[in-house]
Each structure stands twice: as structure tokens, then as C-alpha cells.
Amino acid sequence: MSWEDKIFCGRELVPAIITDCENGEVLMLAYMNRESFKKTLETGKTWFFRVRETLSGTKAKRADTGSMLNR
């Protein structure tokens, strides 16, 4: 079992908590799928899975922009 499989444990999405790098304050809770998780590690920016609700139902969309990930 890979480390990625251990993180996702059979789930499609995992929670990602974004905190202020200086004081640790929680800024945001979002969700990552495998694609956004891998892209975050590759680019150094945070990428999230985004779902947009419409009147006709729910459509899954991939976020096209990321925010800087402090390392």
C-alpha cells in the first residue's frame, strides 16, 4: 500500500486544513482529490477539488488556480 493510499483510505476526497503560517490560525477547510493532492506536491501551490451546484444538479469541477503553499 502506497503512502497516498494510506492518506485516502479508499475515499475520493480528503479534508485539507489551511492555516496561517505565522500564528497557526485556521483560515479554510477544503477538500482534495488525488489529482489536486498530487498537483499540490508537484507545484508547491495548494490545489482543491471544487463542486459547483447548479439548479439541475451538482457538477464536479477542478479548481484552475492554486494559492501559495508555505514550506
Query: What pTM was computed for the model?
Result: 0.62
Give whole-number Cα distances, 60 to 7, 19, 39, 52, 55, in Å. Answer: 21, 25, 17, 6, 14
Rounded Cα distance, 12 and 2, in Å: 15
pLDDT at 14 over 70: yes
**pLDDT range class, residue 64, cuts 50, 70, 90:** very low
Q: What is the pLDDT of residue 46?
A: 86
Q: What is the pLDDT of residue 29?
A: 92
Burial class of residue 48, CB neighbours in 10 A (0-12, 13-18, 19+):
buried
The C-alpha cell of 29 is what?
477547510
